[in-house]
Amino acid sequence: MHQPALTHLAAADPEVARLAEAEAQRQFEKIRLIASENYVSTAVLEATGTVFTNKYSEGYAGKRYYEGQQVVDQLERLAIERAKTLFGAEHANVQPYSGSPANLAVYLAFMNPGDTVLSMDLPMGGHLTHGSPVSATGKWFRPTHYGVRQETGRVDMNDVREIALRERPRLIIAGGTAIPRTIDFAAFAEIAKETGAILLADMAHIAGLVAGGAHPTPVGHADVISTTTHKTLRGPRGAMLLSTEEHAKAIDKAVFPGLQGGPHNHTTAGIAVALAEAAKPSFRDYAAAIVANAQALAAALLERGFDLVSGGTDNHLLLIDLTNKGITGKVAAKALDAAGIELNFNTVPFDTRRPFDPSGLRLGAAAITTRGLRTEHMPALAGWIERAVLAAGRGPLDDADVAKELDAVAGEVRDLLDAFPMPGFSR
Ligand SMILES: *Cc1c(COP(=O)(O)O)cnc(C)c1O
């Protein structure tokens, strides 16, 4: 059963209630390895379902365009204070609707159309909003990119410096969606300083690790930091921008009125709760456990002959290059989903295949760590991943023998997960 209980929803709209119950059940039964996902606490779920959703609050606390902000002003100030304290930042804006609009606000704050941005290339592990040609950021600005070295699978900061000196970007972005290694924010800051660029650290994926002390912080190095709140940080879907005092005004103006209307106050409530959870000592243990799980899973996969980009991980995320297994990322991802293991196909650096059917798989350990799985469970998980990949190599997924093997794995996955409670669900 969904938690909190959906009593009113079930009475008013059984169809939607049934779908929410089905999704809760699905999340309970699957090993969820999508690197950008997590399970939020029941407290966060309750906070995001509050009457704050009824309120319009264009502007900022103390300077709103509608009346009736006595309570919302307190809520937003609370979320801001918690964000500043947790990350040690001088300024926080908790209004961006999600990570993509948060990044667009940074462009709006510092760039004019046609200005140059330097960021990680999408197929190398960057994000759409880092100047991809299909994104507004790639259409309206001039993107230039760094990547990883083919031999190491890692960013070489000398390469970044060389490109920055050549291209003279107005904005440099550090961060991405598929980076299994520690990001050297200090080195990025040095390059930004040398070339007169603004440095944006996009820590969407690793914010929870930063909060829990398991990844070096960009605070003190980057001019602006963008983050989603729903990945390793384990809050509701949303985003925040952190900055130095110097850039506070430009950031706030870019978010509102530059890009958005009224903030999603119910999300702000959920963010405030998640930030308080992330400030607890137990969250440091959580962040360390995520990295330990990812590294244990990496070791177990390497033992089974899987090829990992950069040879392993420093954080929550792994990238498998399936080329040596003779199977594509898309086929493997579909087989794994049928086997109760949910992840996404992903390009690997220097991929020779197309983005919609690339050579790789991306895995993250944040959600399984929330669920309570620990390093001792990782060898079994690697074994299930291998069985599903091998089964998919034997024939189409609807082939009776292949389907039987995937079903068998899904059953074993369900048996293990049965012992691990899921926030948001109870039996
Ligand atoms: C997830 C992500 C985003 C975008 O977040 P959305 O909430 O999906 O818009 C931006 N940058 C990075 C690095 C991300 O991983």
Residue-range domain boundaries for the chain: 51-278, 282-417
The highest-level CATH class for domain 282-417 is alpha beta
Ligand 1 close to Cβ of residue 177 (< 6 A): yes
Residues annotated within the binding site for (6S)-5,6,7,8-tetrahydrofolate are: 122, 126-128, 245
Read off the pTM. Answer: 0.98
- Fold match flag (51-278 vs 282-417): no
pLDDT in tens, 146-170: 999 999 999 999 999 999 999 999 9
pLDDT in tens, 193-221: 999 999 999 999 999 999 999 999 999 99
DSSP letter, residue 131 = T
237 an active-site residue?
A: yes
7 an active-site residue?
A: no
Ligand 1 close to Cβ of residue 241 (< 6 A): no
**Is pLDDT of 222 > 90?**
yes
202 an active-site residue?
A: yes
**Is pLDDT of 395 > 90?**
yes
What pLDDT score was predicted for residue 192?
Answer: 98
Ligand 1 close to Cβ of residue 204 (< 6 A): yes
Q: Which of 129, 195, 217, 228 is catalytic?
A: 228
231 an active-site residue?
A: yes
Q: Which of 415, 418, 313, 328 is nearest to 363 (CA)?
A: 313
Q: Which two tokens stand for residue 299?
A: 């070791």
Mean pLDDT of the residues in the chain: 97
Ligand 1 close to Cβ of residue 228 (< 6 A): yes
Residue minimizing CA distance to atom 15 of ligand 1: 177
pLDDT over 90 percentage in the chain: 99
Structure-token match 């409670």, residue found: 421
Average of per-residue pLDDT across 34-53: 98
Mutate to test the pocket of ligand 1, among 177, 225, 237 (most ligand atoms within 8 A of CB): 177
Average of per-residue pLDDT across 380-405: 96
Q: Could you give phi then psi for residue 130, rounded to 5 degrees?
A: -95, 30
56 an active-site residue?
A: yes
What pLDDT score was predicted for residue 355?
Answer: 85
How far apart (Å, rounded) are the C-alpha atoms in residues 115 and 262?
29
What pLDDT score was predicted for residue 280?
Answer: 98
Q: Give 78's pLDDT tier (boundaries 50, 70, 90).
A: very high
What pLDDT score was predicted for residue 316?
Answer: 98
Residue minimizing CA distance to atom 4 of ligand 1: 99
Residue minimizing CA distance to atom 8 of ligand 1: 99
pLDDT in tens, 341-370: 999 999 999 999 998 899 999 999 999 999
Ligand 1 close to Cβ of residue 215 (< 6 A): no
Ligand 1 close to Cβ of residue 100 (< 6 A): yes
Starting at the earlier edge strand, list the strands of the sheet with 317-321. Answer: 307-308, 317-321, 360-364, 344-346
What pLDDT score was predicted for residue 427?
Answer: 85
Q: Are 27 and 424 in contact (CB under 8 A)?
A: yes
Radius of gyration of the chain (CA): 22
- Gap from CA of 99 to ligand 1 centroid (Å): 4
Number of the ligand 1 atom closest to the C-alpha atom of 103: 10
Average of per-residue pLDDT across 233-252: 98
**Which is it for strands 317-321 and 307-308: parallel, antiparallel or unpaired?**
antiparallel
- Gap from CA of 356 to ligand 1 centroid (Å): 19
The highest-level CATH class for domain 51-278 is alpha beta
CA angle 380, 382, 386 (to 5 degrees): 115
